[in-house]
Amino acid sequence: MTEKIQSVKGMHDILNDTSTNWQTLETTIQNVLSRYGYEEIRTPLVEKTELFERSIGETTDIVSKEMYTFTDRGGERLTLRPEGTAACVRSLIQHGLYQNNALRLWYCGPMFRRERPQKGRTRQFHQIGAEVFGLQGPDIDAELIVMCARFWRELGLPGLELQINTLGTAKAREHYRQILIEYFSDHETELDDDSRVRLRKNPLRILDSKHPQMQSLISNAPGMADHMDEESIEHFDGLKQLLDTAEVSYSVNPRLVRGLDYYGKTVFEWVSDQLGAQATVCAGGRYDGMTEHFGGKPVPGIGFAMGLERLVELLAEQGQGGTRPQPHVYLIIAGEPALTRGFRLAEQLRDALPDLRLLMHCGGGSFKSQFKKADRSGADIALILGEDELEKQCVGLKHLRREAGQVEINWDRLAATLRTALGL
């Protein structure tokens, strides 16, 4: 026997029995985004490899070991996108989208990283993200965070903790960088391999290391907060004040650094207490230097991305997953002559009742077998159209979920009867 083909390791189907949970999640979040004035942007799944190397940074886990990179038939180096910010920035510059007016964007779709698959970590995963361009004050940082708090409220997700930190201005970061280099150089023998590479290139990222061997060294490292300049502190205080005003609680986590190289000032994460090791459901931060780095004019930027797999799991644990919609009506068509009329009747009902979920029996078969399928479909009502009914210009109507005899309803009264019976 030939071997069955399986999906790629770490890449999963979202099956029809759970896709409604995803739809609920996506529509709830997209609805909030649009109420805050955010507009959707759709960028390609594949970009030039260089885009990610230059924006995310060569020393990050993503670029150094997780990207799906290949050479296409024309010899170009391409990569399946591992995240959404780089493409937004590319698109902004390419199309001159920023014209001195703030731009609020969101995206939704699959991302690809070749990580070790485990609970809450897959190789194809999905994100909804938002990016704002052209605003540099802490007010927009606060708006993004407060909007996240609304996502969780409207989804019915309690228990998400907000952690914030500041990475400071480029100047403050440069100063802190030197202090970190001194500190970690003094402990160079205790560093793991990754951290040793990062020591000269990007010592801040050592703080992001998940390596167990590194944890005590990291927690004893000089804190960022003690080496901030006035501008950084003012921005961070502004953010905290606005969060207080909005009654969104947070804790300041001085070890919070984001994976990408171009983050500065505000960074934040939303962390769940229910997901085990992979607990961050949403992460974001400010990246004011990125557009310039790509050869565009300087435009401040800030954004976040949330992992939909982890949110779907949280929703399911809360019993908020939503239910699969059952059909209201199953139309049984008994006998060849009824087929044409039944087909038309189904379309007429769909015209008259836009919210009606009607399943028309296809594929023929005996009345008895069709009736069984009607029952199994979960429909409330079976409509029966056979030769008798055809002659009398009516259908038989039978409630499937409660005791009641079958009644005859004329075609011209059928839509009205269903509207009342189903509360449509």
Which residues form the interface with ligand ATP (CB under 6 A)? Answer: 83, 113, 115, 120-122, 125, 127, 259, 278, 280-283, 305-307, 309-310
Q: In the complex, which residue's CB is closest to ligand ATP?
A: 307
* CA distance readout (Å), 245 to 32, 33, 139, 146, 248: 20, 21, 12, 10, 8
* CA distance readout (Å), 367 to 338, 339, 394, 398: 12, 13, 17, 14
Which residue intervals of 57-164 are DSSP H helices? 61, 85-94, 138-155
For ligand ATP, the closer CB: 30 or 278: 278
Please, what is the minimum distance in Å from the beta carbon of residue 57 to ligand ATP?
A: 12
Read off φ and ψ for residue 169, nearest 5 degrees. -75, 165
For ligand ATP, the closer CB: 268 or 330: 268
Read off φ and ψ for residue 420, nearest 5 degrees. -70, -50
For ligand ATP, the closer CB: 121 or 398: 121
* CA distance readout (Å), 331 to 139, 313, 395: 56, 36, 10
d(CA 302, CA 147): 14
Token pair listed for 59: 């020393």
Please, what is the minimum distance in Å from the beta carbon of residue 122 to ligand ATP?
A: 5
Token pair listed for 323: 């239910």
For ligand ATP, the closer CB: 69 or 278: 278
For ligand ATP, the closer CB: 313 or 389: 313
For ligand ATP, the closer CB: 64 or 280: 280
* CA distance readout (Å), 141 to 132, 133, 164, 243, 333: 9, 11, 11, 10, 59
d(CA 148, CA 154): 10
For ligand ATP, the closer CB: 299 or 314: 314
Please, what is the minimum distance in Å from the beta carbon of residue 153 to ligand ATP?
A: 19
Please, what is the minimum distance in Å from the beta carbon of residue 316 to ligand ATP?
A: 15
Question: Is the Cβ–Cβ distance between 371 and 332 less than 8 Å?
Answer: yes
Q: Is beta strand 39-40 parallel, antiparallel or unpaired with respect to 103-112?
A: parallel
Please, what is the minimum distance in Å from the beta carbon of residue 62 to ligand ATP?
A: 7
Please, what is the minimum distance in Å from the beta carbon of residue 113 to ligand ATP?
A: 5
Please, what is the minimum distance in Å from the beta carbon of residue 69 to ligand ATP?
A: 16
